[in-house]
Structure 1
Amino acid sequence: MSPTGTFAGLAFLILAFYCGIDPLKHSAISEFPDFEAYAVEMPAWSQVPTDRDTQNLLQKSEIKFLNQIQGPESIVFDPLGRGPYTGVADGRVLFWNGQSWTDFAYTSPNRSELCNPKPSPLSYLKNEHICGRPLGLRFDKKTGDLYIADAYFGLMKVGPEGGLATSLTSEAEGVPLRFTNDLDIDDKGNVYFTDSSAKYQRRNFMQLVFSSESTGRVLKYNPITKETTVLVRNLQFPNGLSLSKDGSFFVFCEGSIGRLRKYWLKGEKAGATEVLAILPGFPDNVRTTENGDFWVAIHCRRSLYTHLCALYPKIRKFIFKLPISAKIQFMLHIGGWPHAVVVKYSPEGRLLQILEDSQGKVVKAVSEVEEKDGKLWMGSVLVPFIAVYNLA
């Protein structure tokens, strides 16, 4: 072997040894000694949609409420059309009364100075389990009650006047809800919701993304019997969920795989699931339009790097044991910089529209897309504002 080959081999062995013991604890998974990376059954690369918004139309969005709200994940309007309401990083649900933001609800009974304002959405991660973290929000149009998927306190509800939310359920089949994420309500008051992981909490969402472990679930809460049942299990980061306009099915996002999946509630297929669409990236929330289509917020586009990492978990684990911080690893995962993509699908899974800001100049990230009166209201757990795009 040549000296160059010998040196390269020795360098690889030293690197492998370093990664094996991580002596300086600089890796993205240093605080997770039982971390494992799992294979993801990704769609063939040729099946990934290549459609793009070459005009980057989201760059025409208006940025509203800059630095007035931190990490607005979900955006809703009440049955009277007032709002928006949004859940923010410090554990509150806020209401825009037309002039200013006011407190509407909160999920933690143990709020303290730990939840006081901080400079960025990610500044709250350390104390989220104390302050609460409202994610998915939905109003019951009949009662005016607001249902909240709190990442730490489970499925909750607060009346039309707001205040401290009450817990509806925090476990299913004896397994605690550790990452309650999104929800929707049918006309009988049944609540369908996602629990993204039985292992990782939201404050460790990056490690969940890196791991792709499959303890996620889709669940149903029956308000009459107070029972919580598991509808779909063994999912890799299930996220957004939304009922179809006619209530015959709901769709939910498979985060690790990058798919939109349908669960039938009525008809001959009731209880069965099927793939509705393979997405151009990794999804967050999904919302149904008045016409019955679905807006999907794409956290980031797919890349060949993320595709290969998903297929080969041993290589992925090795990469995450390198002395590279979780933040940098996450930036590599999303393609190097934050960028927003939103896509609209028909109930049959046909791609209808795609809007993006591929450079992240204006809309750097998007967690949810709520369409109202010809405008798209877009929030994200990662930014201190709401972006509004005029479809006209």
Structure 2
Amino acid sequence: MGLLYGLGLRIMNFMVFFLIVIMLPGLPPRTTFPFKEYIVTPPKELKGALEPNFHLEGAERLLEGRVYGPECLIARNNEIYTGIHGGEVIKLTTNHVTHVTKIGQPCEDIYEESRCGRPLGLAFDTQGNNLIIADAYYGLWQVDLDTHMKTLLVSPAQELAGKAINRPAKIFNGVTVSKQGDIYWTDSSSDFTIEDLVFVSFTNPSGRLFKYDRSKNVSEVLLDELVFANGVVISPNEDFLVVAETGALRLTKYHLKGPKAGQSEVFVDGLPGLPDNLTPDAEGIWVPLVLSTDSEHPNGFTLFTRFPSVRLFLARMLALFELPFRYLNSVYPNKFSQRFVHFVGHMESISVLAPKRITVVRVDWNGNIVGSLHGFDKTTASVSHVLEFQDFLFLGSPVNQYVARVKSPKSKQPTLKVRNVRVEGDGLEASIGAPPPRATTTPKPKAATTTTTPKPSTTPKPTTTTTQKPTTTTTTTTKPPTTKPTTTKPPTTKPPTTKPPTTTTTTTTTPKPATTTTKRTVPEKPAPVEEPIPSDTKPPKQEKLKVINKQGVNVEL
């Protein structure tokens, strides 16, 4: 009885404390929308197109220890562009890495991220040699790659329209550009910056999808209350957009044209992880899962979506836990407090609960999951972007201190049924050649079966090896028997009743009798036809890389 009484007393005390925390007004954090219930589809089972494999294991680590957090990767003219922690955008060419631009201010370490800047989304402009950058803290920028002049398009202090209320964007994330120059971009949260990412997982959805009008310098909201809006891509016909809702484990489709213009619907849901940046091509979309999840390993975004009071309690408790460290840093700035707040806010504290699985999903433009790539070793800790370039998959990550690279899956491999994947960006050539055409296989003809029999000018004797040779090239789809002059035996049947074995042959001129012995050799299988790789996408030579850091120091890789 005493044990039950003590247990009941503790439960009652906790309930009183719980009610005080969730009902006391004025406690942090403050959110745009009140806490309410919302539903997230559970992750799909790993079977069928999601069946596990080991394609992502054993990845090469490029620039290890020299880059931190290459979040997004895009390529053009044999150069790869990426943004890293510290606010810099760099490009990797055939033999070195160079600085492109920096949006934020000078800083010392990643725990000063709000000062450094954090480039999350990159896209090549279609209206000039510009790079469009979505910096999480500093807004949407345009950088001229010829003059390196920077232009601010959307400021983080600017009030932006919403479906419910107007408020500034807090996390500038994904970006894509249409052929006409329209810029579509996402704001992941209207409540917290990426420095307080953990709070976004507890609060109600406040992400948005925007269209930026260059002529009016205005951003029009297309979708609101998205569950952490992230990567965004435009379809090949530019009739709809696909945006990743990271916290909802889904992709959402927004119609730009047609009878459904202005409407949205679920494109893919129940992904076995949190989708991040999206990479489009003519056949579909690469969907990297930055954090895996399954029925046994739920994540913070989906764990308490049906229990708003629990989410409010956890968010307030976490804010109260951080409060003394934030106050101490405001009075006496120190690295310890800054590192602690950064560790908690960036969800590094809860990422250890995720399953040790790295997954990239392949989705076609009809919203079907058609393939997936997996890895279970520690060569790649997290994947936020996939770039197919020069027969490789380059894998971006917000936490890795390197750029991972694995071989691109080939058409003969059953793990991924896609071909001719293109490099992201405007005016790019195919990163790998077109797949070999399927050879038309025809069963070998039997001796008693004849499809066509050319009439020779003279009837050859059955005991001779002399054959007729047409003056033009013949197209053969089957493997004829090889005739050897020293081993050929006459047929056992009478010549008038025996038909020589033939193949389906097309000739354009009358055959000309020949007296020479001809030996025809046909390969067992048709030789594969490979499309030549364009000059601007040839694999770079295996040379040492050099990193040119902000101070101008060259570092050989």
TM-score normalised according to structure 2 size: 0.60
CA change 1:12–1:83 in 2 (3 A) is farther
Structure 2 counterpart of 1:352? 370
Structure 1 counterpart of 2:91? 95
User: Using the alignment, how far apart are the partners of 1:187 and 1:219 within structure 2?
Assistant: 17
Among 346, 361, 378, the residue aligned to 2:378: 361
Structure 2 counterpart of 1:314? 309
Worse-matched range after superposition: 232-241 or 10-19: 10-19
Contact residue 301 and residue 334 of structure 1 kept, 8 A: no
Worse-matched range after superposition: 93-102 or 254-263: 93-102
2:86 alignment partner AA:
D
Instruction: Look up the SS of the partner of 2:56 in the other structure.
Output: helix
Among 30, 36, 54, the residue aligned to 2:52: 54
Structure 1 counterpart of 2:81? 85
Write the deviation string for residues 86-144 of structure 1: whole angstroms up to 9, x where unpaired: 11110110111322321101112xx23xx23x4xxxxx14x222221111001125522
Structure 2 counterpart of 1:380? 397
For structure 2, which runs of at least 5 residues remain unmatched after alignment? 22-26, 323-342, 411-557
User: Using the alignment, how far apart are the partners of 2:74 and 2:264 within structure 1?
Assistant: 27
- Residue 341, structure 1, aligned to residue 359, structure 2: yes
Higher RCO, 1 vs 2 (CA within 8 Å, ≥6 residues apart): 1
For 1:46-195, what aligned pairs fall within 5 Å after superposition?
48-51=44-47, 52-78=50-76, 80=77, 82-108=78-104, 111-112=105-106, 115-116=107-108, 118=109, 124-125=110-111, 127-141=112-126, 143-161=128-146, 163=148, 165-170=150-155, 171=158, 172-173=160-161, 175-195=167-187
Among 211, 215, 219, the residue aligned to 1:220: 211
Contact residue 156 and residue 168 of structure 1 kept, 8 A: yes
User: Using the alignment, how far apart are the partners of 1:100 and 1:32 within structure 2?
Assistant: 47
1:100 alignment partner AA:
H
Structure 2 counterpart of 1:295? 286
Contact residue 244 and residue 292 of structure 1 kept, 8 A: no
What is the Cα deviation at residue 338 of structure 1? 5.7
Structure 1 counterpart of 2:554? none
Instruction: Look up the SS of the partner of 2:3 in the other structure.
Output: helix
Contact residue 300 and residue 338 of structure 1 kept, 8 A: no
Structure 1 counterpart of 2:251? 260
CA change 1:54–1:335 in 2 (3 A) is same
User: Using the alignment, how far apart are the partners of 1:133 and 1:162 within structure 2?
Assistant: 22
Worse-matched range after superposition: 361-370 or 190-199: 361-370
What is the Cα deviation at residue 309 of structure 1? 2.0
2:169 alignment partner AA:
L
Contact residue 198 and residue 346 of structure 2 kept, 8 A: no
1:250 alignment partner AA:
L
Among 190, 193, 200, the residue aligned to 1:198: 190
2:130 alignment partner AA:
D
User: Using the alignment, how far apart are the partners of 1:105 and 1:61 within structure 2?
Assistant: 28
What is the Cα deviation at residue 234 of structure 1? 1.8
CA change 1:338–1:206 in 2 (3 A) is farther
Contact residue 339 and residue 363 of structure 1 kept, 8 A: no
CA RMSD of aligned residues (A): 2.7
User: Using the alignment, how far apart are the partners of 2:18 and 2:149 within structure 1?
Assistant: 46
Contact residue 300 and residue 335 of structure 1 kept, 8 A: no
For 1:313-332, what aligned pairs fall within 5 Å after superposition?
313-319=308-314, 321=317, 326=344, 332=350
Q: Which has the higher strand share?
A: 1
TM-score normalised according to structure 1 size: 0.84
Write the deviation string for residues 305-338 of structure 1: whole angstroms up to 9, x where unpaired: 4444222232344456387984797654663456
Worse-matched range after superposition: 239-248 or 326-335: 326-335
Which of 1 and 2 has greater Rg? Answer: 2
CA change 1:68–1:371 in 2 (3 A) is same
CA change 1:244–1:328 in 2 (3 A) is closer
What is the Cα deviation at residue 236 of structure 1? 1.9
CA change 1:183–1:329 in 2 (3 A) is closer
Task: Count matched residues.
Answer: 365
Identity %: 27
User: Using the alignment, how far apart are the partners of 1:217 and 1:7 within structure 2?
Assistant: 48
Contact residue 234 and residue 242 of structure 2 kept, 8 A: yes
Structure 2 counterpart of 1:249? 240
1:348 alignment partner AA:
N
User: Using the alignment, how far apart are the partners of 1:158 and 1:329 within structure 2?
Assistant: 31
Worse-matched range after superposition: 183-192 or 363-372: 363-372
1:345 alignment partner AA:
V
User: Using the alignment, how far apart are the partners of 1:162 and 1:70 within structure 2?
Assistant: 27
User: Using the alignment, how far apart are the partners of 1:316 and 1:227 within structure 2?
Assistant: 35
CA change 1:370–1:157 in 2 (3 A) is same
Contact residue 71 and residue 384 of structure 1 kept, 8 A: yes
